[in-house]
Amino acid sequence: MVFKLSVALLALAATSVSAAAVKRVSCPGGKHTTTNEACCVFFDLAEELQNNKFDNECSEDAHEALRLTFHDAIGFSKSGGPSKGTGADGSIMIFNDTELQDPANNGVDGAIDNLKPLLQQFKVTAGDLIQFAGAVAVSNCPGAPRLQFLAGRPNATHPAALGLVPKPEDNVNKIFARMADAGFSPTDLVNLLASHTVARSDTLILNREAVPFDSTPFTFDSQVFLEVLLKGNETLPPAAGEADAQVPNALAAQGEMRLQSDFAIAHDTQTACAWQEMINNQQLMMNNFKNAMAKLAVTGHDASKLIDCSDAVPIPKPPVGKATTFPAGTGPKLVQQSCPKPFPVLKTDPGAPTTIPECINGDTNIDDCPS
Ligand code: HEM
Ligand SMILES: *[C@@H]1O[C@H](CO)[C@@H](O)[C@H](O)[C@H]1NC(C)=O
Ligand SMILES: *[C@@H]1O[C@H](CO)[C@@H](O)[C@H](O)[C@H]1NC(C)=O
Ligand SMILES: *[C@@H]1O[C@H](CO)[C@@H](O)[C@H](O)[C@H]1NC(C)=O
């Protein structure tokens, strides 16, 4: 009897799986088939983003769109309740006049100005637009994972409270507490910070834009996890009021900066090993980032009520396949290690220290280069 029942259940499960697999809808225009017609709009949106916003590259606009996913989603507080924010809800875009008063949101105006007009062009909510744009953006960075995208976030009805977005000068325990209040563990945070491998600051350094956090800001590799651990004696001159945002680093002469927060998270006993583990482990970093972003993107939502439209996310450019190396002029002697496990053995790039590229190779779009 038990046997018969389980056979029947198996048969039932098999039918529903194959039914789901064959039931596909054809989108208007006939170019795409997908699992749910609600996903069709995202294929068109992906094309628009790639051609007219990101130039199919891991460009400045792509970096900024990825950052925006975090600054929207983190507007959520388990202790404060929905009045403080409803997570990945587009509030930063709809109520930008309010949320951009938070200094932690300095620099996100560019992504909002770039993406907000798309709300007039495509029938999507602001929360869906932000999370989808981030997934499309990072697909242009070689080595990024293909992020999950679920559709159906309702529009925010009110702004998130100010003060919920972590700042680079914040104490590490304050950052961990804030992340916990939004539902993220210290390890989740390390996994999300793989994003800083394609990141540059426009606001923290005096008279300078696009100051990178690692030597390869257009590649989704694990150099950032190594370079944040390298001891240095130089700090780039800070913009007004930003003196505590960075710590001295080994590659300042090459134009790089280290965030105080990244440094502190790299060394905290709770996170030092999760940080070190990702150095020279492309696959682990990709998997960890994909899982952490899947969680970030549904902050404040019941994922089971959303529709899986991941097939509208472009297939990312593959990893460049270069092992992590000490940039020329640095080496193992500079490593500040806090994880007690053996440090990975890495080669050092030969020759004299090289300047970090400011524009993507061959890219002629001036917007992708600092002025
Ligand atoms: C402790 C948490 C975090 C802090 C304190 C922090 C801080 C910062 C700061 C200060 C910048 C430079 C902004 C500027 O001056 O233009 C930045 C850039 C960036 N952040 Fe974070 N961040 C955090 C977590 C995250 C997370 C979870 C993501 C995941 C999506 C993320 C993605 C980015 C990206 C992609 C950029 C580069 C933007 C660009 O190049 O224009 N950050 N972050
Ligand atoms: C908010 O967005 C609107 C465009 O929708 C723009 O005109 C306004 O300047 C933005 N506000 C801030 C503070 O960036
Ligand atoms: C969400 O808000 C945007 C911006 O105000 C608007 O353009 C869009 O139509 C709204 N979408 C829905 C489903 O309410
Ligand atoms: C920093 O260290 C480098 C190499 O160790 C040295 O050449 C340089 O003079 C130092 N700079 C400062 C400001 O101490």
For 332-367, the pLDDT digits (tens) are 999 999 999 999 999 999 999 999 988 887 666 666
- Percent above pLDDT 90 for the chain: 89
Q: How many CB atoms lie within 10 A of CB 118?
A: 19
Q: What is the pLDDT of residue 139?
A: 98
Residue 362 is predicted with a pLDDT of: 62
The residue whose CA has the least distance to atom 36 of ligand 1 is 199
Strands (E), the chain: 25-26, 33-34, 150-151, 200-201, 211-212, 246-247, 258-259, 307-308
Average pLDDT of the chain is 93
Pocket of ligand 1 from Cβ distances under 6 Å: 60, 63-64, 66-67, 69-70, 107, 166-168, 175, 192-193, 195-196, 198-204, 259, 261
DSSP 257-294: -EEHHHHHHHHSTTTHHHHHHTTT-HHHHHHHHHHHHH
At residue 19 the predicted structure's pLDDT band, cuts being 50, 70 and 90, is: very low
Q: What fold is seen in the domain 36-362?
A: Peroxidase; domain 2 (1.10.420)
- Listed in order, strand segments (DSSP E) in 18-119 are 25-26, 33-34
Mean pLDDT for 68-93 is 98
Token representation of residue 117: 């007009």
* Number of Cβ atoms within 10 Å of the Cβ of 7: 10
Q: What is this structure's pTM?
A: 0.94
Mean pLDDT of 254-265: 98
Residue 116, pLDDT above cutoff 90: yes
Contacting residues for 244 by C-beta, under 8 A, at least 6 apart? 168, 169, 260
Q: What are 172-199's pLDDT values in tens digits?
A: 999 999 999 999 999 999 999 999 999 9
For residues 226-238, average pLDDT: 98
The whole-angstrom separation of Cα 215 and Cα 277 is: 19
How far apart CA 111 and CA 347 sit, in angstroms, is 37
Residue 192: which region, alpha, beta or left (left: phi > 0; alpha: psi -120 to 50)? alpha
At residue 2, the pLDDT reads 45
The pLDDT value given to residue 165: 99
Q: Are 34 and 309 in contact (CB under 8 A)?
A: yes
* 123 Cα nearest atom in ligand 3: 9
Q: How many helices (H) and strands (E) does the chain have?
A: 14, 8
Catalytic residue list: 71
The confidence band for 13, taking pLDDT boundaries of 50, 70 and 90, is: very low
